[in-house]
Chain A
Amino acid sequence: MQASLKRANKHIVSHIVLVTWSLIVLFPLWTLVINSFKTRLTIYDNPFWIPKTWNFSNYQTVIRDGDFLTYFKNSFIVVSASLLLVTFFASLAAYALARYKNRFAQAYYFFFIAGMMVPIKIASIKLLELIRALGLLNTIWALPPIYVAMGLPVGIFILTAFIKDLPEELYEAALIDGSSSWNIYRQIVLPLVRPALASTAIYNLIPFWNDLWFPLIFINEEKEKTLLLGVTRLFGQYQTDWSRVLAVLTLSAIPVLLLYLAMSSQFIKGVTSGSVKG
């Protein structure tokens, strides 16, 4: 009796806390969107309330001035390709490192993990030379190699830990059958590491999509620009017009937001269903 009353009670507190936080999250977004419909000077009048007159011209101007569709397509291609390769390569490497223990495994593992701690930005000059040598400069394909290299450390980190956690019994049956390592990987490990793959993908999705630095230094050609890069030029152009800047911000936030909202149920399902063990 006491226990169930306690449980019901705690949930009210939890709800209050979570609702409060949700408001803290949503309020700035509300501010962002409504102010993008105001004009340069009227955003100072009633900052947190809806505009007296709705001004749609900001969006029109912004869409006209910036080639949003192209930017978005480029970002999409770059990020999808990078995530695909990162998760695939990382899972292969993690499988090898977690399962087959030999002298070199520790060394390789630390080699990879070290990459998490260094800002790859400092290698920019050398990277620029490399990309140029490969003939990829000024194209969107300059980015995936960098992003894959960037995302591998975390991916390997997460996946190795996850695979290590898988109980030995899973493999015993396969080993007795004499399955090849590839089959074990494909049929046993891969299905089970779905949540870790999802974690790796989601963890890397954000930095890949929102990266400004490498597109900035690799890409000058308007048609090859990624979303954030294309958009920052507009920041400079509109810097005296906050309402327009906010319209730009809103437009550039929408793609990932929709992507996330579409994927979130996938991710949550993966987290909840894939990891329940006996």
Chain B
Amino acid sequence: MKRLNVVLVSLALLCLMLPITAQPARETSTKAVTLTMGSWRTDDVEQMNRLLSEYKKIAPDVTIRFQPTNPPDYNATLRLQLDSNTGPDLMYARSYGAGLELFNAGYFADCTDIPGLMDNFSASNLAPWQTADGRMFAVPFAAVSHGVYYNKDIFRKEGLGIPNTWEDFLALCTTLKSRGYTPLANGLADEWDILETFFFGLLPNYVGTADQRVRYESGELKLNDRNFVAAYQAMADVAQFCPRGFESVTYNDSQVLFNSQRAVMFVDGSWTAGVYKDASFEWGIFAIPAPKGKHTAICFHPDMAITMNTKTKHPEEAKAFLAWLCTEQGATTASKNLPSGYFPMIKFPIKLENLHANEFLALNAGKETDARFVWPKLMHLYAPMNQAVIRVMKGQISAQAAADSVQALR
């Protein structure tokens, strides 16, 4: 009893003393302004901090703090913070529907009249963050590309070259497998990666780009037509080249497999390029080839934009930052410090320093590009398509059945 009393009393005293020491940070001077920037890119803390410190050189009174939230938590916590007025001043906006909804709910500020925005970006680059009546709710920041990372050393050793058609690609994988390699590092555990990087990466090869996509969106073309079935079949065909137990392989596992040379190729997005910068082997990228007779197209996806909170306490400073991103000088500085694998979307030609980033961009030459298929208008088909791809790769359903399942929900 006595001991319990002592413990309780000391804990109580401890608790009473400590409120004095736990105080929220206060702004010290009235001139200096601190803005917060929210994002789901926890991987980019270093690079973004560099970028933001570059901005500080231009606007010394403004400090912008990059405060990303873990991707799985981002949606939920952002929503809650916005709902209760504690959201960040600036934040990343997802493209199309997901971002639009937050704008319609009144959280994202209208950015249409930010100087330079409407002039310095092409219409197709503005579109992902534009409402139906032409207003902009964010400033386009970066686009991403998708391709096949490959181990140049192993290719050289085995005397293999970059495949030009899908059939060549499959033959290449078969050869690698017969020689004891794991051709592909891709897995299914995280679900989103197989869909966004692989399936949507190769889909333009089969169904075409923007002008074809709108025909699917309007219902003129069916989502289970021959082209779609062929695309699902392509996924089914590569399942055997993925690591053994690939159902459990997560996105991070895939990166490690490629990085440790236990897998020869990895179909992934350009944003991972930075992970391999210190790789012990030489690597390169090639585009996912289209089957014979079709044209290879690249999935070049407008991914991130930055917008400001309608309820920010520092609208002037936030707007100034966004305007800076629309200038040539600002965009160039930003691009220099963008995490590798992100591409600027502004009109001005910007030379990227990173070799691999340039390699990715070079893939676009002479090819058509499009955003990921479901993003503009068919977002509700994301999950069904995802499940269809997974099931067809596991061999549970045929390619036709997979395509049918998505068409049924259209």
Contacts and interface: CB of A to CB of B under 8 A. Distances in A.
Q: In the complex they form, do A and B come into direct contact, defined as C-beta atoms under 8 angstroms apart?
A: yes
Interface of A: 40-41, 44, 74, 77, 80-81, 84, 124-125, 128-129, 132, 137-141, 191, 194, 216-217, 220-221, 223-224, 232-233, 235-237, 239-240, 242
B11 A194 contact: no
Which among A137, A221, A236, A237 has the highest number of chain B CB atoms within 10 Å?
A236
Interface string B18-56: 110011110000000000100000110100000000000
Contacts of B77: 216-217
B15 A125 contact: no
Nearest to B40: A236
Interface in B56-71: 67-71
Contact of A139 (B22, B69, B86, B88): B22
A237 to B, nearest CB: 5
B259 A41 contact: yes
A41 B263 CA distance: 13
A194 B70 CA distance: 41
B127 interface: no
B212 interface: no
Interface in B72-99: 73, 77, 80-81, 83-86, 88
A236 B260 contact: no
26 contacts: A41-B256, A41-B260, A44-B260, A74-B22, A77-B15, A80-B15, A84-B11, A124-B80, A125-B80, A125-B83, A128-B80, A128-B83, A128-B84, A138-B86, A139-B22, A139-B24, A194-B4, A217-B80, A220-B81, A220-B88, A221-B25, A223-B25, A233-B70, A235-B42, A235-B70, A240-B252
Main secondary structure of the interface of B (DSSP, over half): helix
Given A232-B70, A240-B255, A137 B86 contact: yes
Which among B15, B36, B45, B259 has the highest number of chain A CB atoms within 10 Å?
B15
A237 B47 CA distance: 12
A262 B205 CA distance: 63
Contacts of B1: 191
By size class, the interface of chain B is 35 or more
B256 A40 contact: yes
A138 B252 CA distance: 32
Contacts of B68: 233, 236
Given A125-B80, A220-B36, 17 more contacts: A40-B259, A44-B260, A44-B262, A77-B22, A81-B15, A84-B15, A132-B84, A141-B19, A216-B77, A217-B77, A217-B80, A220-B88, A224-B22, A233-B68, A239-B42, A242-B252, A242-B256
B25 A132 contact: no
B4 A139 contact: no
A229 B260 CA distance: 31
Interface string B289-323: 00000000000000000000000000000000000
Contacts of B378: none
Contacts of A40: 256, 259
Contacts of B86: 128, 132, 137-138, 220
Nearest to A43: B256
A240 B88 CA distance: 27
Contacts of A141: 19, 22
Contacts of A129: 84
Contact of A237 (B18, B23, B42, B255): B42
Contacts of B22: 74, 77, 139-141, 224
A221 B81 CA distance: 13
Nearest to B42: A236
B40 to A, nearest CB: 9
B105 interface: no
B80 A80 contact: no
B275 interface: yes
A232 B77 CA distance: 14
B257 to A, nearest CB: 9
Contacts of B259: 40-41
B132 interface: no
Given A41-B260, A237-B45, A221 B24 contact: yes
Contacts of A232: 70, 73
